[in-house]
Amino acid sequence: MSGFTSRTRKKISGSENVHSSSKCFKDGSEAPKLSKFDLKSENVPKIDVEDETDTKQNSKLHFYRHQVAGHYPIFWKSGVICKPIQKNELEFYLQVNKNIPSLVPFVPKYMGVVEMEYGELPPTPTGFKDPKYPRESESHTSETAGFNRFNQWGLRCHQKKKKVLQDRPVINYIELEDLTLPFSRPNILDLKIGTRVYGVNDDPQKIKRKMQKSAATTSHTLGLRLCGMQVYNSKDDGYVFRNKFYGRDLDEIGLSASIREFFTNEGRLRRGLISDFIQQIKKLLSVISKQKIFQFFSSSLLFICEGCRPSEQKRLHGMIKNSDFKRIDLRFIDFAQAAQDTERKGVDEGFLRGLKNIVNIMQELSDSKHPSGNGTGSQTNREMKTIQKEGFRTGESTN
């Protein structure tokens, strides 16, 4: 594609360059230093883009098929995803290995930074329809869902930001590992964590706007909110997609039902996977609550598990290059609003509350006696009314 040039990847680390900015903690000790770097340098690589469905055999850059949330489109290249750089997020990745090593297993692997020049954006991939009414249309099961189809959300981001991207001559992207590679049909759930959804650098108007939105959602009541989800349905060989508009309309019961949907395969609740995730969340909770380097606002937990049958996964395993069997993956993501904890207050209580609540919700689902995790009695009836109201799949098409 003529809009891009190719160069060698450059990994920017926290040790590069001697010009560093320094901050101090409240007790007078010095916060970890972060090297200053020039993202417009000729050393930052440029790479090619082509508009094709991403395949794990191809080394060119493509639109990322499994994007379930976010504002800007994400690209994919040979096991690496590329997302627009946010200063705070890059600072976090440059510091985490040295300053919070116990957190490293829970975050995506940082691969470097790449510079993209947009002479001409790739056209919208074939088959994408931008719904006129996103709150209704995008929340429902896609009429054309299938493994070779793009997640509607990533394509929506592409269309909404196309003009913005075209008007910027150079865009710098952070490169992170693609966490979906080990999975044949990845189920993905993005939950925003915490009761505070604004960052330390947001202006008063933005803070007010974000607080108003949050007050009417489960972020306010639980410290949790669904930002995006895709669930593979083996019967239809396609995905069910949910987006942030859907998540904003859920109440506590609806959120629990949505999480149950994520862990349900062919009518049965996957309690083993729930147990595995609970163990990982508890480990993450322990790590985050002990560190006093960063405060996290508006970050997410990303849940990934295999959506297809074990027998089908074995068959597909040999068809996907660089794929290894993996049962689950839980990662801590999205650090655009992360801030250095210069006063060493520790993690925000609303954030810890969200992590504890997701453990409680999942434990209640796992402890339910019904094979599908529905429970019994009046609680089930209330949940099913919520499911039908919010457009969950209940055996019939939601379209």
* Residue 9 within any structural domain of the chain: no
pLDDT over 70 at 227, yes or no: yes
* Residue 5 within any structural domain of the chain: no
pLDDT over 70 at 310, yes or no: no
3-class DSSP assignment, residue 300: strand
User: What's residue 168's pLDDT?
Assistant: 67
3-class DSSP assignment, residue 224: strand
* Residue 8 within any structural domain of the chain: no
We report the CATH number of the domain holding residue 385 as: 3.30.470.160
* Residue 242 within any structural domain of the chain: yes
* pLDDT top residue among 23 and 168: 168
- What is the per-residue pLDDT across 59-101, written as a single tens digit (0 to 9) for each? 466 778 888 888 777 888 778 988 888 899 999 999 999 999 9
* Residue 342 within any structural domain of the chain: yes
Domains contained in the chain, number: 1
Residues 119-123: contacts with CB under 8 Å, at least 24 apart: 119/2, 119/3, 119/4, 120/1, 120/2, 120/3, 120/166, 121/3, 121/162, 121/165, 121/166, 122/1, 122/49, 122/50, 122/51, 122/63, 123/51
* Residue 173 within any structural domain of the chain: yes
* Residue 248 within any structural domain of the chain: yes
* Residue 283 within any structural domain of the chain: yes
Q: Which domain holds residue 277?
A: 20-390
